[in-house]
Amino acid sequence: MKQVFSKPVSLKDVQTHFCPGCHHGSIHRLVAEAMDSFGIADKTIGCASVGCSVFLYGYFNIDVVESPHGRAPAVATGVKRARPDRIVFTYQGDGDLAAIGTSEIIHAANRGEKITVIFVNNTTYGMTGGQMAPTTMPGQKTSTSPNGRDVANDGKPFKMAELLSNLDGVAYSARVALNSPKNVLQAKKIIKNAFQYQVEGKGFAFIEALAACPTNWGMNPLAANQRVGSEMIPYFPLGVFKNNENL
């Protein structure tokens, strides 16, 4: 008998604080699998952000720098420019990247910093209790949009993968989801590609991962998972929007 599926080496063997059905755990695992596949964990420096993913250092066997809210792409720029031979990635949520951090992500992307950015879009602010996010969908009720997101008041949700793909400095931009085995396997390939860009020194790579937030959506894990497919994917289409190296 052979073990054909196991925990990646660069992921710590600990129970996570993520809620049941939260896709952060899956995304963490795919990032760790990508690092293992290239054998790069021992030269990787992660830039943690603020949100449910703040405890990055508790889950990956890699060096980590904590960044202020939204600033991870700037911190990662500092790290990568100081240590160009290291692998540097950020891991950010929708408030972090698409609200307070819009300046930092756009400019790091525009400069073509040779880093990898993992952006988790669950259409809400998880850690702080389910407030509206820049990615909250029209009509979606949150603790700060109790009557549903009103486009006239708050605009429409951002589509970050498409927005960034328009910048010349971006070499790879894609959107994935974790709501079905097929999508998980596809996400695995795409996240690996995103790290391959950096391993080969080929430029800025951006992955937007659609995720469920059962607790703040007020749904059980299976219903929340269902929502990703039925409501989010039609609005935030999966796919690769930029792929300079045709990986």
Binding site for other proteins (CB under 8 A): 1-7, 11, 15-16, 18-26, 29, 41-45, 47-48, 54, 57, 61-68, 71, 74-83, 86-87, 103-104, 106-107, 111, 178, 180-181, 184-185, 188, 214, 220-222, 225
CB nearer other proteins, residue 188 or residue 242: 188
* Other Cβ atoms within 10 Å of 174 Cβ, number: 25
CB nearer other proteins, residue 71 or residue 149: 71
| Cα–Cα distance, 51 to 22 (Å, whole number) | 13
| Residue 152 CB, nearest approach to other proteins (Å) | 30
* Other Cβ atoms within 10 Å of 175 Cβ, number: 25
CB nearer other proteins, residue 110 or residue 131: 110
| Residue 233 CB, nearest approach to other proteins (Å) | 16
Distances (CA, A) of 107 to 110, 164, 169: 5, 10, 9
CB nearer other proteins, residue 143 or residue 220: 220
| Cα–Cα distance, 104 to 204 (Å, whole number) | 14
| Cα–Cα distance, 139 to 82 (Å, whole number) | 45
- DSSP secondary structure string, 57-103? HHHBSSEEEE--TT-HHHHHHHHHHH-TTSEEEEEEEHHIIIIITHH
CB nearer other proteins, residue 65 or residue 240: 65
| Cα–Cα distance, 19 to 28 (Å, whole number) | 14
Taking alpha carbons only, the member of 82, 77, 81, 79 closest to residue 62 is: 79
| Residue 194 CB, nearest approach to other proteins (Å) | 18
| Residue 115 CB, nearest approach to other proteins (Å) | 10
CB nearer other proteins, residue 21 or residue 157: 21
| Residue 101 CB, nearest approach to other proteins (Å) | 10
| Residue 155 CB, nearest approach to other proteins (Å) | 22
